[in-house]
């Protein structure tokens, strides 16, 4: 399945049905009267978040969505049927943006969440609606109200607990493949990963999701390499796992390059909890790897972990550390929700 995380679509809710002009005519009934029914409401445009979707590729082949119009009213005081609502399934984590991409109109982050985005137009009134003591045979009716119309952008931000960041060939895809059932492309050349990958990791009878995004290089915020457009997929994560190739001569500078790109991107990524792992230690050996680790910690003042995704050395340790940060974040979120419920709870 191809990956697409941005798409522009055009939406229109259904127009309301027109009212009806009709008069009652029945055998043996001396006095008739108006009995034209009202028109039906037009269909709504509804977005629904669906868990088993992880791409917007379907919107490349269909960009126009139009809900059904309301049916017209009929005689004998029959109201027209409502237009059928149009439900558009999107992946969990999809944002609905204005046409200029300046405003977030909707953010769907829970599975099964449904929101009416554009309301259908109301139906018009039939002549029975206008009957009065002074106007007993009205011929007035109204057409249905028009539905709403809008062009919007869909932007997908994958829902994951951990985000993998680092330079190309830092070992991100190898790490994801070693600790999950994900099968990302792995090769010995830069930019092997060109679209985000998700993997479900199991550790100590619990699971969490890791997102692997294409590698960043210096100047990614200006479009160098693949750029920083995929960083949006790690904005919702609880913690970042920064992987650094320990076999590189300038591995300390490489760390600073990525941190700089995160800072320039914004969206609070630079402030997220970060775990640093020096990868490919199997290529250097234990003694030299520890020496490189000491150099790194002295230069940056930050704790690091030594791992080898190939031999899986140190992988479980770092997964447990990630789980601690995820649990902490979930606990903070639950506490905040409880405070908000108490704050707005009516007495």
69 assigned to some structural domain? yes
The model's pLDDT over 80-100, given as tens digits with 9 standing for 90+, comes to 999 999 999 999 889 999 999
Which is more confidently placed, 188 or 55? 55
29 assigned to some structural domain? no
Least reliable range by pLDDT among 78-87, 215-224, 274-283: 215-224
Residue 217 belongs to domain with CATH number: 3.40.50.300
Task: Please state the rounded mean pLDDT for residues 218-241.
Answer: 72
What would the DSSP string read from start to end of 244-263? EETTSTTHHHHHHHHHHHHH
> Counting runs of H as helices and runs of E as strands, what totals does the chain give?
4, 16
pLDDT at residue 338 is higher than 80: no
113 assigned to some structural domain? yes
Contact indicator for 260, 216 with CB cutoff of 8 Å: no
Q: In this predicted structure, what is the pLDDT of residue 218?
A: 67
Q: Are residues 144 and 116 in the same domain?
A: yes
294 assigned to some structural domain? yes
The model's pLDDT over 158-198, given as tens digits with 9 standing for 90+, comes to 878 888 888 888 788 888 888 887 776 665 555 556 667 78
Q: Are residues 176 and 293 in the same domain?
A: yes
- What confidence category does residue 46 fall into, taking pLDDT thresholds of 50, 70 and 90? very high
For the ranges 42-46, 58-62, 130-134, the one whose mean pLDDT is highest: 42-46
Q: Are residues 98 and 134 in the same domain?
A: yes
Q: In this predicted structure, what is the pLDDT of residue 210?
A: 86
Which is more confidently placed, 47 or 228? 47
Q: Are residues 135 and 178 in the same domain?
A: no
Find, among 150, 15, 162, 11, the residue nearest to 90 by Cα: 11
347 assigned to some structural domain? no
Q: Are residues 215 and 287 in the same domain?
A: yes
148: which 2 tokens?
């709403």
Which is more confidently placed, 45 or 29? 45
Q: In this predicted structure, what is the pLDDT of residue 97?
A: 93
Q: In this predicted structure, what is the pLDDT of residue 261?
A: 84
H/E element, 188:
none
Give per-residue burial for 23-50: e unless 16+ CB within 10 Å, then b.
Answer: eeeeeeeeeeebbbbbbbbbbbbbbebb
Q: In this predicted structure, what is the pLDDT of residue 287?
A: 86
Q: Are residues 96 and 196 in the same domain?
A: no
Least reliable range by pLDDT among 5-14, 100-109, 217-226: 217-226
Task: Please state the rounded mean pLDDT for residues 206-215.
Answer: 81
Q: Are residues 150 and 209 in the same domain?
A: no
Q: Are residues 141 and 166 in the same domain?
A: no
What would the DSSP string read from start to end of 20-86? ---EE--TT-S--EE-PPPPPPPPPEEEEEETT----GGGGT--EEEPPPPPPPBTTTBPPPPPPPE
| Strands of 274-279's sheet in order across | 197-203, 206-212, 162-165, 239-245, 274-279, 304-306
- Considering only CA atoms, give the Rg of the chain: 29
Q: Are residues 210 and 311 in the same domain?
A: yes
Domain of 267, in residue numbers? 162-339
CA–centroid distance for 305 within its chain: 32
Q: Are residues 166 and 149 in the same domain?
A: no
344 assigned to some structural domain? no
Q: In this predicted structure, what is the pLDDT of residue 205?
A: 82
Residue 110 belongs to domain with CATH number: 2.70.210.12
Which is more confidently placed, 187 or 34? 34
- What confidence category does residue 226 fall into, taking pLDDT thresholds of 50, 70 and 90? low
Q: In this predicted structure, what is the pLDDT of residue 233?
A: 78
Average pLDDT value for the chain: 85
**Burial label, 259 (beta-carbon count in 10 A; 0-12, 13-18, 19+):** middle
Task: Please state the rounded mean pLDDT for residues 304-316.
Answer: 87
Q: In this predicted structure, what is the pLDDT of residue 197?
A: 77
Sign of the dihedral defined by the CA atoms of residues 178, 237, 267, 57, in that order: positive
133 assigned to some structural domain? yes
Task: Please state the rounded mean pLDDT for residues 1-5.
Answer: 70
Q: In this predicted structure, what is the pLDDT of residue 283?
A: 83
346 assigned to some structural domain? no
Q: In angstroms, rounded to a whole number, what is the distance separating the alpha carbons of residues 347 and 152?
A: 41
Answer with the one of 113, 140, 156 that is the final residue of a domain. Answer: 156
Answer with the one of 156, 175, 203 that is the final residue of a domain. Answer: 156
Q: Are residues 187 and 335 in the same domain?
A: yes
pLDDT at residue 225 is higher than 60: no
The model's pLDDT over 133-158, given as tens digits with 9 standing for 90+, comes to 889 889 999 999 999 999 999 998 88
Q: How many domains does the chain have?
A: 2
Answer with the one of 156, 179, 197 that is the final residue of a domain. Answer: 156
Q: Are residues 191 and 313 in the same domain?
A: yes
């Amino acid at each position: 399945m191809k990956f697409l995380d941005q798409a522009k679509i055009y939406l229109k809710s259904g127009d309301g049905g027109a009212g009806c002009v009709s008069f009652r005519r029945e055998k043996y009934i001396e006095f008739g009267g108006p009995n034209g029914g009202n028109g039906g409401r037009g269909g709504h445009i509804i977005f629904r978040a669906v868990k088993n979707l992880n791409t917007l590729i379907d919107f490349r082949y269909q960009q126009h969505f139009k809900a059904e119009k309301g049916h017209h009213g009929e005689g004998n005081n029959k109201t027209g049927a409502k237009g059928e609502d149009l439900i558009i399934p999107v992946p969990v984590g999809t944002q609905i943006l204005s046409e200029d991409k300046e405003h977030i109109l909707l953010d769907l982050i829970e599975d099964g969440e449904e929101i009416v985005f554009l309301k259908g137009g109301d139906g018009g009134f039939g002549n029975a609606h206008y009957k009065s003591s002074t106007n007993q045979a009205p011929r007035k009716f109204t057409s249905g109200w028009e539905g709403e119309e809008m062009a919007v952008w869909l932007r997908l931000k994958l829902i994951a607990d951990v985000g993998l960041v680092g330079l190309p060939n830092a070992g991100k895809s190898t790490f994801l493949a070693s600790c999950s059932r994900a099968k990302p492309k792995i090769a010995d050349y830069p930019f092997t990963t060109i679209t985000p990958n998700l993997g479900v990791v199991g550790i100590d009878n619990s699971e969490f999701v890791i997102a692997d995004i294409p590698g960043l290089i210096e100047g990614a915020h200006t479009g160098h390499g693949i750029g920083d457009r995929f960083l949006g997929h790690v904005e919702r994560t609880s913690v970042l796992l920064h992987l650094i190739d320990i076999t590189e001569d300038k591995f300390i500078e490489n760390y600073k390059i990525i941190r700089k790109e995160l800072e320039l991107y914004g969206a609070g990524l630079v402030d997220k909890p970060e775990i640093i792992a020096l990868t490919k230690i199997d290529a250097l050996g234990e003694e030299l790897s520890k020496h490189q680790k000491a150099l790194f910690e002295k230069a940056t003042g930050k704790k690091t972990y030594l791992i080898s995704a190939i031999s899986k050395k140190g992988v479980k340790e770092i997964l447990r550390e990630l789980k601690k940060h995820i649990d902490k974040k979930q606990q903070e979120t639950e506490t905040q929700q409880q405070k908000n419920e108490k704050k707005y709870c009516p007495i």
